[in-house]
Amino acid sequence: MIIPGMTRELALQMAANAVNASHAVGMGHLHYTAVDYTPEDMVKNERENGTLDFDYFEGRMVKLTIRCTDGKYQTYNGSTRADYQSWAGTYPTYVALVQSVLPEFVFEESEE
């Protein structure tokens, strides 16, 4: 889904929200540190084109991609699974995660 109004700063904050809502799974416990990460900490997972890609982050199972194409941001809008995207315990949908930084965001089917 395309996210109108998303900026780099908001994308980094959204990623930090997901990471902070995630927990360690399996061997991730060996790398887990109980700290809250900042948007600045998310920069190390930022690609040259602005895309943010998270599999595991400091032992936390995140499983999130915030794609950036020509300065426009988008992410998935499929179902989440708390046993896969561990942030889904706090943000049960991708829309809820987007709304953590853009409260006025409403997904419209035609945006896919």
Is-contact 94 76, C-beta < 8 A?
yes
Residue bearing tokens 């943010």? 52
Q: Quote the radius of gyration of the chain (alpha carbons, Å).
A: 13
Segments making up each domain of the chain, as ranges: 8-102
pLDDT in tens, 15-26: 999 999 999 887
pTM above 0.85, yes or no: yes
Joined tokens for residue 93 = 């949908």
pLDDT in tens, 55-107: 999 999 999 999 999 999 999 998 999 889 999 999 999 999 999 999 999 98
Count the alpha carbons within 13 Å of 19 in the hemisphere toward its beta carbon: 29
Sequence letter at residue 69: T
Q: Cα(94)–Cα(17) distance, rounded to whole angstroms?
A: 12
